[in-house]
Amino acid sequence: MKALCAFSLVLLTGCSAPPAMDDSTYGASVGIVNHTGNFIYSASANGGGGHMEAWGAGGPNVCCVMIPRKWYPGMKVPVRWDMPEGSKHIYKEKIVEVEQYDDDDGGSLYIHIFPNGEVRLVVSRYAGWSSKHPIPAPVNPDSKAGQSQ
């Protein structure tokens, strides 16, 4: 009888333990930063994305893509974007390596698209326009902002 009670106690203790959580990935919002003079009709990384005006630096306003909490070398993500010319949609797609990020960042995934077709992916807690963002915000070369009058 004592053995049965002890066995039951072990079973109850085992059943009351919380299940192991998989915290190896998390849902990250997606932001788009457009370093070109063209409107981006849509852009996505691993299926999550949105759109962005010319020379625009957005915040992480689209939810979500799953990304690893820990960065690892060779981490690559499919990126697809549509940058129309007039009324014709021009789709481009490539596999892009995610730049190294801190494990503690827990930030959003930002898609940076440049005029030469270069695409960079960064994970950051800071919005695309922030001075603390890993890649400087786009600057319209035709803008007179910052010039003295």
Ranges of H-type helices in 2-127: 2-16
In tens, the pLDDT along 22-81 reads: 568 888 889 899 999 998 888 888 877 765 666 666 666 677 888 899 999 999 999 999
Give the Cα separation of 3 and 9 in Å (integer). Answer: 10
Query: What pLDDT was estimated at residue 97?
Result: 96
DSSP code for 60: S
Residue with the bigger pLDDT between 14 and 143: it is 143
pLDDT band for position 91 (50/70/90)? very high
What proportion of the chain, given as a percentage, has pLDDT over 90?
40
Whether the predicted pLDDT of 99 surpasses 50:
yes
Q: Which of 12-26, 73-87, 127-141 has the lowest mean pLDDT?
A: 12-26
Write the CB contacts of 28 (distance below 8 Å, at least 6 apart in sequence). 60, 64, 65, 66, 67, 107, 108, 109, 123
Residue 87 burial class via C-beta count within 10 angstroms: exposed 0-12, middle 13-18, buried 19 and up: exposed
pLDDT at 106: 74
Q: In Å, how far from its chain's centre is CA 146?
A: 30
pTM (predicted TM-score): 0.76
Residue 23: predicted pLDDT? 66
Q: Which residue(s) pair with 80 in the sheet?
A: 44, 93
* Residue ranges covered by each domain of the chain: 23-124
CA angle 125, 119, 121 (to 5 degrees): 25
